Structure formats: structure tokens, C-alpha cells
Structure 1
Amino acid sequence: MLRACFRRTLIATCLTTAGLSASADSFNRIASFPVAQNLGKESINTITSAEIITASEDGNTLIYSDSPRGGIGLVDIKDIHNPKAKGFVDLKGEPTSVAGVGKWVVAGVNTSASYTEPSGYLAIVDQATQKVVQRCDLGGQPDSVAVSKDGRYIAVAIENERDEDLDDGAIPQMPAGFVSIIEFDSETGQCKATNRISVEGLAEIAPTDPEPEFVAFNDKNEVVVTLQENNHLIIIDAENAKVINHFSAGSVDLTQIDVKRDGALTFTESLNNVNREPDAVKWLDDERFVIANEGDYKGGARGFTIFSKAGDVLFESGASFEHEVVRVGHYPEKRSGKKGSEPEGLEVATFNGETYIFVMSERGSVIGVYRDTGKAPELVQMLPSGIAPESAIAIPSRNIIATANEADLVEDKGPRSHVMLYELQDKAPNYPQIHSTLDDHGVPIGWGALSGLAADLNKAGTLYAVNDSFYSAQPAIFTIDATQSPAKITHKMTVTKDGKAAEKLDLEGIAVDPKGGYWLASEGNAKKDVPHAIYHVTTEGSIDQTITFPEALLEQQERFGAEGITLVDNTLWIAIQRPWKDDSKEQTKLLAYDLDSQTWKAAHYPLEKAESGWMGLSEITAHNGNLYILERDNQLAEAAKVKRLYKVELSAVKTGKLGATLPEVHKELVYDFLPELQSSKGIVVDKIEGFTIDANNIGYAITDNDGVDDSTGETLFFKIGEFK
């Protein structure tokens, strides 16, 4: 049993990622708001999305654009730890951006009939009454909106976006975009005059079809504009409504990156002369600005760059930002190639005299926090986010920053769109809880979708994990140093067969073999020709023995098979995730394979009743005469109920022959992981997948981040106390 004095511990409460700032000040997530709470009387299954976010002047209200619903949502954050729904304003169109100015919210609204007939207006909304007080015609399809610091001007990027299905999205596609500078009366909320500024003929790429993407003001009322597809940057004097400078965003050479969507994390390739193609832009001061190089056309430098307004490159991140995304397990392998981690959103703000740059990886669902030094920015930390962080707004007066995370996966029963809040605290960061180091070639160890967990038999704090079939071309065993905080992945060994990465594996469990090597459990999938099987691998990772499931099992097989494996004396115990055809809905099997006699037996494990979805097993670990078993439902967020560790006393277990009536084991609740999962203040994940007890009797657990595919990408790693 666990000692009575054990304490719940997130493994990363002491130090931040190696190489990051050791400052005590850090941003930690303190609350999350699912924007579906603003649906009111609409069906809870209505798709909704927080995209661009801003804040009221007093910092007590957040306002986000919601394209699917055609309006803007408001969130009450007077209590930053308990955000509440504050209402929704229907704008009768597609809001593309929002910005706050005094008591108003201004929103660009797309009302285009087609790509060739673009139209839109600027909505001026009274925050208090939540009413539209004026609609200012824009003469085209708006994208980004920004307000000058003195409230005198509103800049709108009129993108008149391309049709990506027409000629494979090639430009030029008319009509051309432009920039509008609106003279604004912040007292009355009236648009006094509109200046249409042509930006045609400036870029080398499709000069007749500029597509302004993002706008931002400095304190001199100068506006920087990104032309993403045109790979160009423009500086506009708002007061005189004219272009004062423009230059190419340029290109960058990238090394040690992954360029193939092949089910493997391999950071050994290069791309040369890649156009930056910036999306978001923010001023660092009146002379410098930073761009996020998303790429959405032909380029995509997957980093960020600092420019002077004269056009000089002052800093280029190259692949360094992407490498940090890799190290915290957030690299989106399915986006390998042109965009990689896809930096899209930016925020710049000064807290306690320090200027921070927040770089948002849309596909990696993670945020890099950098300190502006005037030269090369200093990486401070990596923040977890919801799925697809699109934008952020800092409120330095309250020491907080909020992100808008646009993805809403309600149709797939996945996570909803969220607004998340972070506070600058005099504490070490509580994320990541696990990260990787560099390999022998100086390349970050790529990882994700960790499932089974096992402990070294002799070395306390040394653990081993496997990844599942998400990385089908790179099944691997990872070595984890859990004596550090955060825990560190120090080595990655590919599982091989005949000298090549083994195919047809879905590794879900691992056990250390005291005679050498490892036992691995692979979950089968008949539709993909992946067999239900157990494999033994050498210390070098080569498969040298295969144990297939017997026919008596396979004739009853279902998709959800072996989810954990452990070794007791010379018997392998395997946890089957869910009931098979010959099981009741309330039971699943614990298999026992005797390595000496090569015979199978089994027992039934009683499952908890699921309030919704299904209940199943994730892990099995033997320790001091007991089997410790992870049991969970497949629910996430507020619907998650069962994420528990149970104990089965081995001496009381009776087994039976396959095909016969099986005895049922007795289980005893040992630990509830739900409080840990909730303590991250994000979306409660469904997959707590690995558990083990090390040579010092300390228990550890880990979650599976699904390879950052339709997932927040967060991997949580827990140290839960001593087991006797």
C-alpha cells in the first residue's frame, strides 16, 4: 500500500527544461474556459471556436472572435481562477479579428458572397450593452484588425483571400487586397474617415495581388503589415496614410528538421532558401518587430524572426523553436514537411520591466515564451495550451496572459475550443513534466504517444517507456531519468527486426527481463494486419522472440487488446484493455503466460461501470506480491470520471483455461489520478497509460498525448509516493 504520508506530486515543480531560464518567475496555467459555455440555449454540440482574442480596458473581460457562430464571445475574468460566460454578440457574418479600444470592441466581419466578390465591415460593439453601435463598410474581406495605442486609428488588413481550391491556390487571384486606416472617435465609437492604402506593386511575388494578413501598431502610430503569400513586409504611417517602407520577408536555411510525414520522428533533413511567409506580427519597440513564420503558400520557415523597421534581420530562430517543440513532445509529425510546428500567433508584452515574446505553435499546441534581450531572445519556458492556439492577449496589469485555442472537436467527441489563462508567478514552471535531451548528434530526441511504462530492476529513478502505433515507422523504447525534475528522456532505441524498424506493431506495454532485454505487448488490429502478440527484444532493441496469441483467444478477438505487460517469476501477465466476444460487458481478461510450459491461462477483471463511453485497462505492474492495474474511462474534460489505480493480490488470484469459465479477481482501490489530471488546469486528458514502481518503491505514471493529433499534445508525468 502507499504510505499514509505520500504527497501528490507533479514531477516538474522544481526546474524548467534544461537550457531554459532558471528564473523563479514563470507563467503557469491557472484556469481554462470551454467556449461552449457561451452557447446559452443553443445545443451543447454546436461547433464554436475562440480564434482572435482581446481584453477590456480594465482587464476584467476577455473577448474572442467566433467564426463558426458568426459573432464574438465574452468571458468574465474578474476572478481569474474562475472564468465565467458573459455573453455572445451575433455579428451576422464571419468575424476575423477583434481588438479592444476604450469601452468598445472593434471586429472585422467578413460578409463576402464569394472569393471574387469580397465584402466586409468593421463592427463597433459597446462592451457594456453588447450591442453593435456602428457598422463601417470596409469594401473588402477583412483579416486582422489593430488599434493604435492612443485610440485614434484602426488598421484593417483587407486580405481578399485566395481560393485555395482554384489552380491549387496559386496567386495572383483578383481582386487585390489593401490596407484600411480608419480615423476613430474613441469617445463616440464612430468611424470618422477611412483611408484606403494600396499595397500593390511592392512585393516581388504576385505584386498585383497582395494579400495583407496581419497588422500591428507601434507607439508612433506606424503600422507593420505582413503579406504572407507574397512574403513581404510593409510599414505604413497611419497619420499620413502612406507606405513609408517595404521589403521582402526573405528566406532561411533549415537544418536538423523532419520533412516527411512517415510515422517517424527523424530530425536529420534540411531545407534551403525557404520563404518565411509570416502570419502574425508584433512590435517589440518603435524600431523592432517580430514575425511568426507560419507559411501557408509555398514557404514556411517554422520559426520566428526579429526585424528592424528598416528591413534588417536582427534575429532568426531557424529550427531552434521547432527543436524546443520536439523536446517537450509536441511536434506534430503529421505536419512534417512544409510547415512543421507551424508558428502562427504572437503576443508581446512587458511584465515587471521584462519584455516577453509569446510564440504559438498552432499544430503543436504549445507556446514558446522568450525574454527580449535586445539581441538574441532568451527562451524562458514552454507553455501547454489547448488545441491550436491561434492568438493571445496579455494583461500585464493583472500579471496574466490569455490564449484563444480554436479547434473544436465536438463532432469527433474530442476536446472543445478553450480560452486558457496563465499567471506570472514567483514560482518555477509546472510544465513540462517530462522532456527530452539531445542525442549524440546534437539533435533533439523526438517522442510522443508514450504508452507502457516499466522500471529498471536495479537503478532507482530509471524508467523505460514505449510509443504506440502513432509512430508506426519508428516503434521505440525510451529511457527516462526520473530523478530529475522535469523527468528527462535520455535515450531512444528503435525496435527492429532483421535490421530494420519493426513493422506491424502497436506497442502498449513493456516489462524488463531480468535475463536481459525487454518484453513488449503489442495491441492487435485485424483491419491493419497488426497481430495481437508479445515480443522479446534484446538490449539493442532487436526482436528475438515472438509469442502469438493462441487460437482460443484470437477467435474471440476484438480491436482493443494487450495494454500492459509485467513479469512475475517466469510468468508474463498481460492486461487486455476491453472485453472480447466471450467476456461480459463488465469484465475483461488478465492473461497469464507461463514461459516455461508455454501455456496460457486467464482470469477475469471486474470493470467499473462507465457513465458514458467505455471502461478499460491501460497498464499492469507487478510489485511485492501484487498486481497494480490502471483502469480508466475513455472520457476527457468534464466527462472524465475514472482514472484509477487498483491493486490485485497475486496470492489470491485463481486462473482458468481459455474458453472455460474464468475466475474473477478481487481488486482494491489504491489511487485516484483524477485530481492530478485536473490540477494542470487544462483539458483533463483521457489516456493515463503507463504506471510503474521503481527500485526504491516509488510509483510513477504517465499520460499518452496521441502524437499531438486532435490532442492538446500534453504529456503529464506523476510521481505518486512510496509503495510497500
Structure 2
Amino acid sequence: MTLRLRLAALSAALLVFTAGVHAAEVFNRVASFPVALNAPDAAATSSEIIAATEDGMTLIYSDSPGGGIGFIDITEASAPKAAGYLALQGEPTSVTIIGDKAYVGVNTSESYTEPSGKLVVVDIASQAIDAEYDLGGQPDSVARNKTGSLVAIAIENERDEDAGDGGLPQMPAGLLVIFDVAAQSLKTVDVTGLADVFGEDPEPEFVAFNDNDEIALTLQENNYILIVDGKTAAVTGHFSAGVTSVVDVDTKKDGALRFTGSQADVPREPDSVKWLDNDRLVIANEGDWKGGSRGFSIVSKSGEVLFDSGNQLDHYAARIGHYPEHRNKKGVEPEGLEVATFGDTQYIFVAEERASLIAVYKDTGAEPEFVQALPSGISPEGLVAIPSRNLLATANEVDLREDGGIGSHVMVYELAEGEASYPQLISDLDADGRPIGWAAISGAVADAEKPGILYAVSDSVFYAEPAIYTIDATTQPARITNKIVISRNGDAAQKLDLEGITLDGKGGFWLASEGNSDKLFPHALFHVDADGKIVAEVPFPAALLAGQTRFGAEGIARTGEGDDETLWVAVQREWGDDPKGQVKLLAYKPASKTWGAVAYPLETPAEGAWVGVSEITVHGDYAYIVERDNQIGERAQLKALYRVKLADMVPAELGGELPVVSKELVHDFIPDLAANNGYVLDKVESFAIDADGTGYVITDNDGVDDSSGETFFWTIALN
């Protein structure tokens, strides 16, 4: 079997697993904790590396921007509580726990050329510093051995990526430090002169112990791995992480999700490393400098490659809408790792920093078996398993609160019998065995005759290939079975920001594009045939554009036939000629090419927020309208479905006073969003009602751009 066919068969197997095989036990998220609760006055706070106390009841995470460590009480796993914060006068980089003490690596460097750091010992009960030890350089990873007698610290002395070409060598060189817990003494291990690439300037990244007190140390930029005897501090083995080739991946930052590229002989450049047993290692190949293999590998401690994941992580992320197209050199960017045994099964957890996913595999002793992908917060950095409680926790480092986004979160998952709650939408493979890439679903409509079949559009601001996706919602998860690229003159159409779709009654579609004059995106409607070819463009009239803003069309619905055919277009926010708190529902008649509108009353936003319309669909005697605020997480207050009687939607001419329609609340989406046990997402963008009267709701993940990438897809019953 060829490599491509083997990978296609693997992807097909993943679909079968995800689409319907009942797993005896799966991981599902049970809670999400915003770490700002531990440091409410901090401008920025983050959770990066995370550890659990030996009783499994408390999590401790390093917070680099905040300059301390945070404590989380997970006595009740589904309801984590803020449990304290300790400032450490420096930049904490990693934490591990032995008994009642936390051992924290703290960077105190004045510059790249004068690195310094300390190992800080913290009493967990009192949250007070017991001792500090000078490490002689800038620490990165910290790890303990099984018995708790030794702590290893990777002293990275990291390179300045802005110095010269950001390459090596950049002195001083990194090293390894071993701390004897009982003797409270340090040993320094010289790791220079070993790596094939810039051996004079090793870049230690991550450390891990096996049960024999052997330390695996990755030198990331050097693409190298060392084995060190933790008791004697002697280097007992060393080898290159090697190079690998990857096929059927997206290699161009062109806004198109095309998995047809390849990368040959790229160095793995591993970040995290964990032992699977005393002879095998698993490495996350982040590729921070010249790498780009996008996967993880299993290697023997003598350097033999036993398994390489190839494009598996990229492909699965693409199929569930998490592929980070703007990071094409490193794809999903594997970085963090955890290995733990739950019952009789040893699991490998791979944190994908740019895709915001945790890939879960079973260690079989040979090729690992893919189990599932877990949605995490933005940029998962650290993981810790607590097998005694069937729990896994992730630390997600990005804090976007300054820009109105979400802050850093710690997320908790539980292994239990049941079915995976995520993904809720997954794509099939195309005819060539490659994933149908998608993201940023921004509008949907149901098939007129086939229950459970939807057509959706992607937000074209994020992608250069605007598309219509066919969704089969009769399976769980729902499946994207086809993708049609919107074309103009034979090429993918440009300057579109598709936010709405409706059937044209003849096998084609009408699409609504949200304009933005700053980017030369027109406010317009587009008529496309069944193959996605644009057959007509209808710009907004001059009378309307006089008051335009960038918050334009967010949905489109169709009523009537022939001369009575009307396209109803929901404008997201107030334009210049709208009274405050009212937006237009535009009415366009294709037969007469005339425009009119009614006014729709918005809910009052909370202070600092805005409220707008994000979708319109028609069913029976009503137009159903999604209304939401622009807030996320605990600040979110409005994500709801309303309806307006069609009989009351009698449009008036543009330019004059518009009749204001009345609305009634149909459904509050916030409890639905909260039921996913993450934070409440901001963009409920799509709503469709199928031939059986079932309502379908889809969130927009913004193309994994400053987003966790999570897309939720669920149904509601209508009265």
C-alpha cells in the first residue's frame, strides 16, 4: 500500500471511529477555570506548565507574565475554585511537585547574554517560599523522578530570535542541572560538544525521568536528544532526532486549505519529551527554528525511530475545523506532552499549540492508536494527568483580554464511559483521500426537502476560497460531505465576506456578503448556481450605502415565488441612518430589483458591549433571528433566538421612517454553550430549520485566529 493510501485509510478509520463506534471510555471536558480569578488585578495572566499535588486535589500552574504560580482547588473536578497565588520575583517557567513542596524554575535574566535563574521551593499548604537555589542560567523545563529524590532542570539560555538571523550560536551555552532533594545540592551537567548542529551552543528544552532515574533531555534547536544518568550526572547516550518528510499538507499561507503540499527532510526539533517505558521515548516535534514535521514520534533511547505520526495531527485538525492556516510552517505545532496509565491503558496526550487541541492516543507498544481529540483553550502549553481520579488537566497560555477576547484557562477532563462530546462537526475526505478543510462557518440554510441536510458558508475574510459546504446532520457528529468553491470567471471569487446563505428554489443559492469599504469588500448579494458559479451580483443601493459601516449583512432568507419572491437580509448593527438600538431587515425583490426594509429592535447591550443580529431564517409564519452580544466567557450575556411574524414584515422604502417589528424570545443559547463545559463562545452565527422543523445552531470559530477553534453544532426544538 502506498503512503498516501495508507494515510487515507487511517483518516477513513478515524471518521468511522468518531462517527459512531461507541468507545467503552472516553475523555470529556468537565470544567474550565479562568486563571484571572487567581490574580484579578493583573493586567495579564497565563497558565503554562501545570502540575498536580500527590492527592490529586490541587493544581499548580506557572504564570510567566504574572510572575508567579497559581493554585486551583479541584476537590470537585467539575467546579474548580481559585485557591491562591504566589508572586516569585521573576518569570516562572515550569513547576513540579514532590510531597508537600512545589519546585519552580524561575527565570531572572537581565538579558539574553546575561541569563540567570533560580529553583524556588514552595510549601504548598502555606503558599510560602521555603528556599531558593541559584541555577546559573535561565531555566525552562523542570521534572522530578519517580521516588521524588531528584529534580532535573533544563537550563536553556534561550536564543534571541531578533539577533542577527535568530540562529545559533548565541552564547552562553545551555546546560542541565540536577537537584538532590535530600542533600539540597546541585550538580551541573555540561552538554556542549555533543549535538551535530551547533554543539557548542546546546539549547536544552525539556526534561523527563524514567523509572531507572535516567533523564531524557531535548536540545530543540540542535535537533538532539541526550540520555543522562540522574544519579551520577553522566551522559550515557545521545543522538540526533533526525529528519522526516511529510506529504499531503498545507504549506502555503494563501488562505486556501489545500492539503497537497509536502516538506522533505525537515528536522524534528522536539520540544517536550516523555518516557513510555524505560526504553522508549515520545517526542513532540514543534520545529521551533528550522523544523516543520508537524507531528510526534516514538524513538528508542538509542535513537531508533519506532513511529512517526506524519500528517495525522494536521489532517484531523483540518477535518474538525481547527487547522491554523496562518501557521503553515509548523502546522498544528505539537508542543506539550503527557503520558499516563489509566487502568490497564497507557495514553499519550499531545498538545497542539496552534490548533488548540489535545490529541489522545493509546500506546500499543507499536504504532499508537488514535482515540480522540479534545478541545482546549487557546494555545495549550502544559498537561497533567491524574489517573487516580481519572482526570486530565491542560494549561492554555494565551490571554486576549486586553483586546476584548478570552483570558487564559485551565481545563479539566474526565475519563468515563460514554461517547465523546467533541467534535460536533467533522468533514469527510475528498476523492483523493485528503481532508475537506473548513473553518469559520458563518451562515447556514436547510435543504427544502431532505431532513438533516444543511448548506453552510465560511467566513471568507479568513480564507481565500469562499465555499459552500454540504452538512449531513443525521450522523453524530454531523459531517461535511462536500465543498463547493464559489467562483467568478473560473477562479475562486475574491473580495467576499460571506455571512449568509439561502436557497434560490432552482438548485442554486443566494449569498449575503458583509462589506468593508476599508478592504474594498462590497456590501452585496450574490446569486450562484449549484456549482458555486456567480451568475449575478446585486450591490446594495446608494440610498442605503450613504450610512454604511463595516457591520453589514449577517444573514439572508427567502420568501415567496415569482414576482413575490423576496430576499430578507439582516444587517448586523446600526448604520448611520438607524435610530440607536434598531437595525434594518432589508427586503430585496429580484423580479422588480427594488429594495425596502423594516426596523428590528435590538436588546440593550451591557456596558462596554454591543449587540447585533447574526442570522435570519424563515420557517412557517415566522422569520427567526439570532441576536447576540460581542462578549465571550463570563462576560457573555446575550446569545438568543427571536422570531418575528412574517405578516408584520411589510417593508417601507429606504430613506424614510421604517416600521418597527415586534419580536418574541424563542430560545436562550447561553445554557447550550455552557453545557460544553468550556467558556461561552461569542459567535453564534448560523441557524437553520430543516424540513422536519428541527432547528440547527452552529458557532463561528473565526478560522482559529485568536480563537480556540471550537465549533459547536447542536439542535433545538421549536414550539
Preserved contact between residue 16 and residue 432 of structure 1 (Cα < 8 Å):
no
Deviations 1:71-100 (A, max 9, x none): 111111111111111111111111111001
Give the Cα–Cα distance (whole angstroms) in 2 for the partners of residues 556 and 176 of structure 1.
61
Aligned to 2:414: 423
Aligned to 1:593: 588
The two structures, once aligned, show a CA RMSD in angstroms of: 1.2
Q: Give the alignment partner of residue 685 of structure 1, picking from 681, 687, 695.
A: 681
Give the Cα–Cα distance (whole angstroms) in 1 for the partners of residues 682 and 659 of structure 2.
29
Give the Cα–Cα distance (whole angstroms) in 2 for the partners of residues 598 and 115 of structure 1.
65
Aligned to 1:95: 92
After the TM superposition, which residues 392-403 of structure 1 pair with which residues of structure 2 at under 5 Å, given as runs? 392-403=383-394
Give the Cα–Cα distance (whole angstroms) in 2 for the partners of residues 585 and 632 of structure 1.
16
Instruction: Please tell me whether residue 660 in structure 1 is matched to residue 656 in structure 2.
Output: yes
Instruction: Please tell me whether residue 450 in structure 1 is matched to residue 421 in structure 2.
Output: no
Give the Cα–Cα distance (whole angstroms) in 1 for the partners of residues 164 and 715 of structure 2.
54
Deviations 1:624-676 (A, max 9, x none): 12101101111110111111111111112222100010001111111111111
Aligned to 1:574: 569
CA gap 1:17/1:60 in 2 versus in 1, 3 angstroms: farther
Give the Cα–Cα distance (whole angstroms) in 2 for the partners of residues 331 and 470 of structure 1.
16
1:385 is displaced (CA, Å) by 0.5
Instruction: Please tell me whether residue 497 in structure 1 is matched to residue 488 in structure 2.
Output: yes
Question: Does the residue aligned with 1:608 lie in a helix, a strand or coil?
Answer: coil
Give the Cα–Cα distance (whole angstroms) in 2 for the partners of residues 34 and 600 of structure 1.
47
Preserved contact between residue 65 and residue 71 of structure 1 (Cα < 8 Å):
yes
Aligned to 1:124: 121
After the TM superposition, which residues 562-711 of structure 1 pair with which residues of structure 2 at under 5 Å, given as runs? 562-569=553-560, 570-612=565-607, 613-711=609-707
Instruction: Please tell me whether residue 110 in structure 1 is matched to residue 107 in structure 2.
Output: yes
- Structure 1 residue runs of 5 or longer lacking an equivalent are 1-14, 186-190
CA gap 1:331/1:387 in 2 versus in 1, 3 angstroms: same
Segments ≥4 residues shifted beyond 2 Å:
15-22, 469-472
Question: Identity of aligned pairs, percent?
Answer: 57
Question: Does the residue aligned with 2:616 lie in a helix, a strand or coil?
Answer: strand
Give the Cα–Cα distance (whole angstroms) in 1 for the partners of residues 523 and 675 of structure 2.
36
Report the count of equivalent residues.
700
CA gap 1:39/1:302 in 2 versus in 1, 3 angstroms: same
Instruction: Please tell me whether residue 141 in structure 1 is matched to residue 138 in structure 2.
Output: yes
Amino acid paired to 2:34: P
Aligned to 2:169: 172
Aligned to 2:397: 406
CA gap 1:346/1:296 in 2 versus in 1, 3 angstroms: same
Give the Cα–Cα distance (whole angstroms) in 1 for the partners of residues 253 and 387 of structure 2.
40
Deviations 1:495-545 (A, max 9, x none): 000000001100000001111211000000000000000000111111010
Q: Give the alignment partner of residue 515 of structure 1, picking from 488, 506, 511.
A: 506
1:16 is displaced (CA, Å) by 8.7
Amino acid paired to 1:707: G
Instruction: Please tell me whether residue 216 in structure 1 is matched to residue 208 in structure 2.
Output: yes
Give the Cα–Cα distance (whole angstroms) in 2 for the partners of residues 170 and 39 of structure 1.
36
Aligned to 1:712: 708
Give the Cα–Cα distance (whole angstroms) in 1 for the partners of residues 346 and 452 of structure 2.
38
Preserved contact between residue 15 and residue 428 of structure 2 (Cα < 8 Å):
no
Aligned to 1:81: 78
Q: Give the alignment partner of residue 300 of structure 1, picking from 292, 295, 315.
A: 292
Amino acid paired to 1:575: A
Give the Cα–Cα distance (whole angstroms) in 1 for the partners of residues 648 and 668 of structure 2.
23
Give the Cα–Cα distance (whole angstroms) in 1 for the partners of residues 462 and 256 of structure 2.
5
After the TM superposition, which residues 95-494 of structure 1 pair with which residues of structure 2 at under 5 Å, given as runs? 95-185=92-182, 192-336=184-328, 338-494=329-485
Give the Cα–Cα distance (whole angstroms) in 1 for the partners of residues 159 and 639 of structure 2.
47
Q: Give the alignment partner of residue 533 of structure 2, picking from 521, 542, 545.
A: 542
1:366 is displaced (CA, Å) by 0.8
Question: Does the residue aligned with 2:181 lie in a helix, a strand or coil?
Answer: strand
Q: TM-score if structure 1 supplies the norm length?
A: 0.95
- Structure 2 residue runs of 5 or longer lacking an equivalent are 1-12
1:604 is displaced (CA, Å) by 0.1
Preserved contact between residue 359 and residue 369 of structure 1 (Cα < 8 Å):
yes
1:17 is displaced (CA, Å) by 4.8
Question: Does the residue aligned with 1:488 lie in a helix, a strand or coil?
Answer: strand
Preserved contact between residue 153 and residue 183 of structure 1 (Cα < 8 Å):
yes
1:449 is displaced (CA, Å) by 0.5
Higher relative contact order at CA 8 Å, sep ≥6: structure 1 or structure 2? 1
Amino acid paired to 1:602: A
Deviations 1:148-179 (A, max 9, x none): 01011111101111111111211011111111
Give the Cα–Cα distance (whole angstroms) in 1 for the partners of residues 200 and 475 of structure 2.
56
Aligned to 2:8: none
